[in-house]
Amino acid sequence: MEEARIYFGSTPATKEEKREVRSPFNDKVVSIYPVCSADDAHKALKIAQEAFAKHKDSLLSQRIAWLRDVANRLKEQKEEFALTITKEVGKPISFSRIEVQRAIETIELSADFATSLAGETINTDATQSGRKTMSFYKRVPVGVVVAITPFNFPLNLSAHKLAPALVAGNAVVYKPTPEAPLTGYKLAKLFIESKYALPDMLSVVYGDAEVGSALVQSDIPRKISFTGSVPVGKIIMKNAGIKKVSLELGGNAATFIDKDADIKTAASRCAVGAFVNSGQVCISLQRIYVHEDVYEEFAQALAEDTKKLKVGDPYEPDTFMGPLINEDAAIRAQRWVQSAIEQGAKAILEGKREGRYFYPAILADVTDEMEIVCEEVFAPIVSLVKVKNYEEAIVKMNDSPYGLQFSIFTKDIELIKRFVDDAEAGGVVVNDIPTLRFDIQPYGGVKLSGIGREGPRFALEEYTELKSVVIV
Ligand code: NAD
């Protein structure tokens, strides 16, 4: 059985007490990890603090070489990483392979953009008293960073934190999700065992709320970088005190299908957006607002496309949907669908549950108060809403506490321009699903969906402070 190891700095360690990770697909034990305590979290933070002081003058060229080496070694171990993701979280193997490729690119892009992370001169002579002075600012690392990640993209979302934070010169204490500790460990191992590694600049601890809270509450880290749910995000915000915090939280992504849209294409893409990774994507398509003129045609096409998606064994290359992360998640999906139907929703596809599996559900005649509409479902459930026009759709889309990504399918360029301005979201997509993310983009939400932006170039800025200089 493969065991995830703690890293206290670059030194591997373990604990007597271990916990098992069971495959969401077949319930077999797939990995084990040591259970860390709050003391372990403090120990890792202390090591990070010392390492940061020691490597303050490390060269950017070395840190860039470090990331490139990690990316190259990840390329050599692509299949092993993909299998580890599938083993731990039940993601269909073809999508685990895509995630590995994306993680390689995230690390490479972090190395690329690090070369241009710079300050600029400031025209102090624009103020009378600033005469004959010279001023500029530099970007400097924040110090110790705590990185906490969720289960749904356990590799790439970790790469989005570790790579920019380390290349910017910070020391990092990383707590991967307890659902995929081995994936997190293997990634950390690549960093720690690299021939270009700066010793002790990365530590790894395991656990859930206790260890997470200890990391967040400590005075040592200067920045908390968190990706996960809104309830945990709220706790982190309360616990963090005065330090930088980035929160990449949940959403309930929506799209509008206009009457002039290519309905066949829109429907087949919406089936992907709603059901990929069994809906366990923060930008999973959850609400579809369809112009009344094309509603019936769209609903029928969506149902037909959805029925073609293969639900099954995540190790088979043509499987589109695997299990949910655990049985509780599948039971919750079932309960929310049942409750919506009891409140008057009509099931186009009812979405039955089999253990940890939940089959795709498409619901119509939904109301704004139903959980499947106003909460983040994080399961393969999508709602269809018939609307008279764009104006009605955008009001409903924006009537949400979340604001991660929205999209529109239309040929009307004037409408596209209005939508770009009207959408209350961190990102908008035109003529495709809101589930689209390119790792080079700035990515993050407004409202409850979070604070700050990831995407290597933008994360690099968030992992640095501006230091202002005046020479008199
Ligand atoms: P989660 O919030 O349950 O857990 C995320 C991480 O927080 C885990 O590592 C967990 O151990 C840790 N944690 C739990 N309690 C903590 C505490 N008190 N202090 C510190 N850390 C604590 O999320 P999850 O179920 O793993 O992931 C699903 C959620 O993540 C969804 O809501 C999804 O939308 C969101 N998500 C957001 C993005 C984004 O980029 N916006 C991306 C992926 C997932």
Q: What ipTM did this prediction achieve? A: 0.98
Provide φ and ψ at 332, rounded to 5°. Answer: -65, -40
165 vs 130, residue with greater confidence: 165
Determine the pLDDT at residue 130.
85
Determine the pLDDT at residue 40.
98
The three-state secondary structure class of 341 is helix
Q: Where are the beta strands (DSSP E) in 88-215?
A: 121-122, 134-141, 144-148, 171-175, 202-204
Residue nearest to atom 21 of ligand 1 (CA): 212
Classify domain 253-438 at the CATH superfamily level.
Aldehyde Dehydrogenase; Chain A, domain 2 (3.40.309.10)
Spell out the residues 6+ positions from residue 30 whose beta carbon is closer than 8 angstroms to its own.
Answer: 2, 21, 22, 23, 87, 88, 182
152 lines ligand 1 (CB under 6 A): yes
- What is the atom index within ligand 1 of the atom nearest the CA of 150? 26
Q: How far apart are CA 92 and CA 321, in angstroms?
A: 6
- What is the atom index within ligand 1 of the atom nearest the CA of 235? 18
Spell out the residues 6+ positions from residue 40 whose beta carbon is closer than 8 angstroms to its own.
Answer: 6, 8, 15, 205, 211
Asked if 210 and 38 touch (Cβ cutoff 8 Å), the reply is yes
Determine the pLDDT at residue 222.
98
Order of all β-strands in the sheet with 346-350: 346-350, 361-364, 381-387, 285-291, 253-257, 405-409, 427-430
Answer yes or no: is pLDDT of 149 > 90. Answer: yes
Domain range summary for the chain, segments of one domain joined by +: 2-249+449-471, 253-438
Q: Which residues are catalytic?
A: 248
250 lines ligand 1 (CB under 6 A): yes
pLDDT digits (tens, 9 = 90+) for 212-227: 999 999 999 999 999 9
CATH number given to 2-249+449-471: 3.40.605.10
Q: How far apart are CA 393 and CA 385, in angstroms?
A: 9
Residue nearest to atom 20 of ligand 1 (CA): 212
Q: How far apart are CA 409 and CA 258, in angstroms?
A: 6
83 lines ligand 1 (CB under 6 A): no
| The pairing of beta strand 427-430 with beta strand 244-248 | unpaired
Secondary structure element (H or E) that encloses residue 427, with its range: strand 427-430
Q: How far apart are CA 381 and CA 407, in angstroms?
A: 18
Residue nearest to atom 31 of ligand 1 (CA): 229
- Please name which of 188, 217, 184, 196 lies closest in space to residue 55, comparing C-alpha atoms: 196
Q: Candidates 149, 160, 217, 229: which one to mutate for ligand 1, based on the most atoms within 8 Å of Cβ?
A: 229
DSSP output for 388-401: SSHHHHHHHHHSSS
Secondary structure element (H or E) that encloses residue 4, with its range: none
229 lines ligand 1 (CB under 6 A): yes
Record the pTM. 0.98
**Residue percentage of the chain with pLDDT more than 70:** 100
pLDDT digits (tens, 9 = 90+) for 303-343: 999 999 999 999 999 999 999 999 999 999 999 999 999 99
**Residue percentage of the chain with pLDDT more than 90:** 99
Query: How far, in Å, is the centroid of ligand 1 from the Cα of 229?
Result: 4
Provide φ and ψ at 288, rounded to 5°. Answer: -120, 115
Q: Candidates 227, 332, 400: which one to mutate for ligand 1, based on the most atoms within 8 Å of Cβ?
A: 227
Determine the pLDDT at residue 301.
98
49 vs 129, residue with greater confidence: 49
Residue given tokens 């809270």 in the structure block: 213
Spell out the residues 6+ positions from residue 16 whose beta carbon is closer than 8 angstroms to its own.
Answer: none
pLDDT digits (tens, 9 = 90+) for 63-122: 999 999 999 999 999 999 999 999 999 999 999 999 999 999 999 999 999 999 999 999
Give rounded-to-5 percent helix, strand, coil for the chain. Answer: 40, 25, 35
pLDDT digits (tens, 9 = 90+) for 274-308: 999 999 999 999 999 999 999 999 999 999 999 99
439 lines ligand 1 (CB under 6 A): no
Q: Can you tell me the mean pLDDT for 394-413?
A: 98
452 lines ligand 1 (CB under 6 A): no
Answer yes or no: is pLDDT of 9 > 90. Answer: yes
375 lines ligand 1 (CB under 6 A): no
Q: How far apart are CA 135 and CA 153, in angstroms?
A: 43
Answer yes or no: is pLDDT of 131 > 90. Answer: no
| Mean per-residue pLDDT of the chain | 98
